[in-house]
Structure 1
């Protein structure tokens, strides 16, 4: 094929892959194997599965040169390290050129990949910074390697008295087995090659670009959907699922500690018929990616949908690393093109999950949607309820309480509970009556098309973190603090704020410290996690009231 020569089978295989990339057909170089390849990945798989223990003796005579021939042609790449260097200059395109296929090499490459993936995904370093890190680390490594090889050369020459040829062979062997350089000159060398390596080595589910239509400016608008079934299949095949399994520990009958202890869960027919099925919890919310107070307000606001699997243990389920991104869409596009258009792919996957499930090697796992979490505004939007809380006559998604009844004398009064039947009846009345809403229902929720889910199960639970820790708790704790200060005179606002500031916070509490308390404010001003930390740590902060009052 060419005049290139190699003294190592690994270098020969790497070079044959280059010819495949060029568009030339390559025959398997092993004696007795006549397979031909035009796709590099197929050739790599074939060599890995069929000829994993390849040696020099196994190479066909078609790929061998006699001694006289070999002396007339100078080898351009004598070892694996030289091939790595050549690849880093542009002859290769991905990790296949490095042929990092041995167990230890795979482990090394996996750990290097996880390191750069952590910089990119967890610490949010830009690609340019990571690229600069890769190049500088490789330069430092090469300097250290050069120094080590010079010391090795001096030792072999002066103390062991090896010939220059033997010393060169030893140094080239050490340089050729350098996995660090092989990674950083190969699969980790550029942002593109790193991305391709991440996709190949880890469970990556590529988002789908969904065309929604054209806006008023005739511009194409899209939403991005991460297929739920493919994501769940990766989860079922992962080590996390195998280690966690089903948490079978049952709660005492008089203790509610999990969603499986509630009546809604126990009355679900699908869960009763399929006890080991997947129980999905969706969460939706809209967020601003620019300054929400500037001129670009709401222009770039994005609706995000996430998923969590209720089968996982509590300590895993509550970790944000195990909350799965499902969908991203501009809020303007969501309102313009409608729920059915934006959620079409998600609903199709959920229906297929209910009916056929996910086929694994030894079983089929089904699943369904249990509930959709979110704030009041988002939940009313998803459920098809009115979103005007201050003006609507029916403002509750759980009962048919009217505004006049709510403003009566009994603050604990509740109206008739919403059910799937009276919800469907309200939807039918909407089709015949010329009115914006019927009993607070203004449209039928697209999620009611699922067989085992209904927004009036109730399937739209409140967001406890927002409603409690930024709502009820922020008012109640402020009242208790006012009572301790004004009535009991145990301490003052200034001493309390000094204690909050000087308290020794540990672990995650250090990044979510409580805010200072204002004497004039009727509620706490912190976020939900900050208010929760204040409630949890308040006894420790003000425990010594006499010392605090000083």
Structure 2
């Protein structure tokens, strides 16, 4: 059996190299990028690689069986499958928050409600102690799996000593990009100061070069003894020195590498990642009144070019005769731009003011900021409220917005 990447065209004879490929090529770890299961017929996806490895060890441990993992399916919409009970009930909660009628998903129970708290109370009181067999048959879906050879069955998914195939220069660049993603995640997601990142890089560089030299020398000598090879000590020392200095971690974090300073890291991100730089627009040049605008068109191109799933992209109106989104309204359907047969992209803009400082202190309203966000209107409703689907367009001081008006602030749009 050949293991195929669900994002690109990479193929492997074993699943261990495929897992390494996901970590190296697609392991960005953002909120919007889930890691899919390695099995072709499994619809599950995960936020972290640890969750994926847990899923593989629990759901796909018996490789030779013909039955696959159980998934939960929503009876109200065609969203897809949910690999855990928690995710399934969170999805049902999204329907209840929109006051949609949800029926109980357990056998021999005709209860239904459109109130979130009532559904939660019923589930806790009537079905607190339940098993997987208590769910209705139409809720659970089981995907048949293809039989897998004994070679794949004995393959270690978590850790494999098999080296990755590829050109050295390409792998070196991939490792640098992985470091770039790591430092970007530390700064933007975990709010780690740049001074701490500089200290971390300096320590990693010392560990990978000077501190690791004696250990690498011991490993090299042990390997040579096992193969009954004798080398001059000067040759061994030169080999260890080259291994330490030419290691991808050492070259990436060295003085000539792209991560030693904050400026170098910024330049590396701009060159190798999809960065959309904000533009400064002037409201009053004499008083220094400006606002920042993140161009929507370049941002939209980046969003649509990143492994965009066409199945989640909705352009036409819903087939059912009920209001579910703004696309079901008469104003949208009679619009000259959206009423044509060609696919059209719709954007939803909304404005929110927030306080940078303590809103109850003496600095309240002094640093208040007006933010304009946009969301793709073609994605399903339940995805529009996720942080990964919301993009920033404009940042402007609230007092400047009141002084110059929305027509000036929203002019770049």
- If the length of structure 1 is used for normalisation, what is the TM-score? 0.41
Q: Name the counterpart of 1:203.
A: 274
Secondary structure of 2:394's counterpart equals: strand
Once the two structures are overlaid, the 10-residue window that deviates more, 142-151 or 328-337, is 142-151
User: Cα distance, 1:252 vs. partner?
Assistant: 5.0
- Give the distance between the partners of 2:214 and 2:399, measured in 1 at CA: 60
Per the alignment, do residues 314 and 171 of structure 1 end up closer, same or farther by CA in structure 2, a change over 3 Å counting?
farther
Match of 1:326 in 2: 393
How many pairs were matched up?
Answer: 243
Residue 404 of structure 2 is aligned with which of 337, 342, 358?
A: 337
1:268 aligns with 2:335: yes
Could you tell me whether the CA contact under 8 Å between 1:244 and 1:312 is conserved in 2?
Answer: no
Report the Cα offset of residue 342 of structure 1.
1.8
Residue 183 (structure 2) aligns with = 116
2:198 to 107, 126, 131: 131
Q: Contact 2:350/2:372 (CA < 8 Å) preserved in 1?
A: yes
Q: Tell me what 2:222 maps to.
A: 155
Instruction: Output the CA distance in 2 between the equivalents of 1:227 and 1:160.
Output: 62
Aligned partner (choices 203, 209, 217) of residue 142 of structure 1: 209
**Is this contact kept in 2: 1:213–1:337, CA < 8 A?**
no
Q: Which has the higher contact order (CA 8 A, sep 6+)?
A: 2
Q: Give the corresponding residue for 2:129.
A: none
Q: Structure 2 matches for 1:274-313, cutoff 5 A?
A: 275-313=342-380
Alignment of 1:341-360 (within 5 A): 341-346=408-413
SS of the aligned residue for 1:136 comes to: helix
- Distance in 1 between the 2:229 and 2:287 partners? 75
Q: 1 CA distance for matches of 2:280 and 2:310? A: 33
Distance in 2 separating the partners of 1:205 and 1:249: 30
Change (3 A) 1:248 1:267: closer
- Hey, what does 1:182 align to over in structure 2? 251
1:210 deviates by 0.9
8 Å contact 2:315–2:344 — kept in the other structure?
no
Distance of aligned partners of 1:304 and 1:166 in 2 relative to their CA distance in 1, 3 Å threshold: same
- Flag the structure with larger Rg: 1
| 1:269 match: secondary structure | coil
Secondary structure of the 1:141 match is helix
Which 4+ stretches in 1 moved above 6 angstroms? none
Paired residue for 2:56? none
Higher strand share: 2
Moved more, 247-256 or 314-323: 247-256
* SS, match of residue 212 in structure 2: helix
Unaligned runs of 5+ in 1: 1-99, 347-550
Going by fraction, where is helix more abundant, 1 or 2?
Answer: 1
RMSD: 2.7
User: Could you list the per-position Cα deviations for residues 139-185 of structure 1 after superposition, in whole angstroms to 9, with x for gaps in the alignment?
Assistant: 33335522332213533676521123542453244234411122222
Contact 2:213/2:240 (CA < 8 Å) preserved in 1? no
Separation of aligned partners in 2, 1:212 and 1:286: 19
Partner of 1:193: 264
Q: 1:482-521 alignment to 2 at 5 Å?
A: none
Question: Are the structure 2 counterparts of residues 201 and 313 from structure 1 closer, same or farther at C-alpha, using a change threshold of 3 Å?
Answer: farther
- Provide Cα deviations, 1:336-362, integer angstroms capped at 9, x if missing partner: 22323222212xxxxxxxxxxxxxxxx
Q: How does 1:401-550 map to 2 (within 5 A)?
A: none
Cα deviation for residue 315 of structure 1 reads: 5.0
Q: How far, CA to CA, are the matches of 1:269 and 1:190 in structure 2?
A: 52
- 1:471-493 Cα shifts (integer Å, max 9, x gaps): xxxxxxxxxxxxxxxxxxxxxxx
- Equivalent in the alignment of 1:500: none
Please name the residue that 1:219 is paired with.
Answer: 287
Corresponding residue for residue 402 of structure 1:
none
Distance 1:131 1:340, change over 3 A: same
CA contact (8 A) 2:315 2:343 kept: no
